Amino acid sequence: MGRRVDMAVRARRRTLVVLIYVAFAVLFTAAWFIDRWHTTGTYLYWGAMLACRLFLGGYYRGGLVKPFNDRVRRERPTPHPFLALGLRIYQPAQPDDDRLLLNDERELQQRNLAHYKAYQVIGMALLVPWFIAYLRMLRPQWWSGMTVSLDQLFYALTLIILLLVFTLPQAILLWTEPDMETDFRNP
């Protein structure tokens, strides 16, 4: 909207995380009423990718969390290999330089801890569809009176778990990181 929001304050980052998950819940519910997630479920997946790209970061460039891949992309233009050979300007690939690391040891430890916590939650979330499948195997008639089909329920649960896979580690980092130091020159 033309105005930047300072995300150094923990409360604002937490508000952003809550707003993202509320938006996903609203979109998830709206998608059910539109077409029972037949085509709109895919849009939820792409919405998670967009949220990572614009707000969360982590797996994509952009957002508040540094990229998880530990390396900075080299942004130097290189000609096509055959053209470079013809012009005799071909240079062999240089070994990776340690100075190109994005994350220091503390940030790597925080990233690993966030993934550890996130995937414990996701592992627990996988228990729900497993338990439903188990009950259905024990008593097939148990499911016959429900208005939601088993396929729709499994699709919904796996879609929720997929959204958590892409967004939960970054959300944990944004939620738990303390207030950041601000620049003292700018009031």
Q: What is the pLDDT of residue 18?
A: 96
Per-residue pLDDT averaged across 38-52, rounded?
Answer: 87
Contact 47, 27 (CB under 8 A): yes
- Residue 149 falls within a domain, yes or no? yes
Per-residue pLDDT averaged across 150-163, rounded?
Answer: 81
Question: Would the pTM count as exceeding 0.75?
Answer: no
CB atoms within 10 A of CB 55: 21
Alpha helix positions (H), the chain: 10-35, 40-51, 81-86, 105-125, 127-138, 150-176
Domains held by the chain: number: 1
Q: What is the pLDDT of residue 182?
A: 61
Query: Which two three-digit tokens encode residue 84?
Result: 């470079």
- Residue 144 falls within a domain, yes or no? yes
Q: 């029972």: which residue's tokens?
A: 36
- Residue 93 falls within a domain, yes or no? no
- Residue 18 falls within a domain, yes or no? yes
Q: Domain span at residue 172?
A: 10-75+104-176
pLDDT bucket at 109, cuts 50 / 70 / 90: confident
Q: What is the pLDDT of residue 171?
A: 92
